[in-house]
Structure formats: structure tokens, C-alpha cells
Amino acid sequence: MTTELYWLTLSLLLTAILWLPYIVNRLIEQGFDTALLDPDGKTESQVGWATRLMAAHANAVENLVIFAPLVIVVHLSGTSNTTTSFACILYFFARLTHAIVFTLRIPFFRVAAFAGGFIAQLLLIVALLMAQTPI
């Protein structure tokens, strides 16, 4: 497995588990029956951190839609290099940091972490564009 695919896998895992604390909180707050029998899924959490974590999860999903195909194209095109490896590591830690600081309501670091993930995506795009010759 390449470095890029390894960090993509970890990023997928992170995104896949971000919702868990939110759901556990809803089960504790509302009780098992109420939380599971809400047909519209519109009950709100009583605590801000849970709502922010769910927003961080949604943001992670939105960014994964861009990141994952980039990593796959890097892999399939054989464009892997130190820059693409660095970008994938940066992306993972930027998303992890974003989820933590968003949940804890730390504004400046939330934006900085988001920017780190965006920069990682740009690095992958630049690496791909520099390695490919147009037809």
C-alpha cells in the first residue's frame, strides 16, 4: 500500500467514526426510545459540543469527496512522490485537528486546520497537473 492510500484509509476511518460521540450523546440525552424513534431525525442536542461535532463530521464528508478521488488519481497515475505523501499526511492531521478544535469551539485553529486540509488538496492537484501532459 502506498503512503497516499494508507493516509486515505486513515482519513476514511476518521470520517467514519466522527459521528459516534454525537449519537452516544443523543442516546444519553433523549433515551434509547426517543433517539431511535424520531422519524424525521430533527431532534436537537442539548449541548453545543455535540452539534459542533456533527457539523465537523458533515464538513469532513464534504471534503473527503474531493480528497479521496485525488488520492486515487495520484495512485492510478503513478504520480506518487514526497509532495503527494506529505499532502496526504497533512490532510489527515488537518481533518483530525479540525474536528477537535471545532468541537471544542476554538475559532482560529478551526479555520487554520480547515485551511491545512484545503492546502493538502491543492498540493495533490498541483502534483497531478505538473505530472500529466495534455492530449
Contacts of 10 (CB under 8 A, 6+ apart): 92
| Per-residue pLDDT at 26 exceeds 90 | no
pLDDT in tens, 109-134: 999 999 999 999 999 999 999 987 66
**Inside any domain, residue 59:** yes
CA distance readout (Å), 17 to 20, 56, 57, 69: 6, 12, 9, 20
- Assign residue 118 the CATH number of its domain: 1.20.120.550
pLDDT band at 7 (very low <50, low <70, confident <90, very high): very high
pTM over 0.75: yes
The domain in which residue 108 lies consists of: 3-18+48-131
pLDDT in tens, 30-46: 787 777 777 776 667 77
Concatenating the DSSP letter of every residue in 84-119 gives HHHHHHHHHHHHHHHHHHHHTT-HHHHHHHHHHHHH
pLDDT in tens, 75-99: 999 999 999 999 999 999 999 999 9
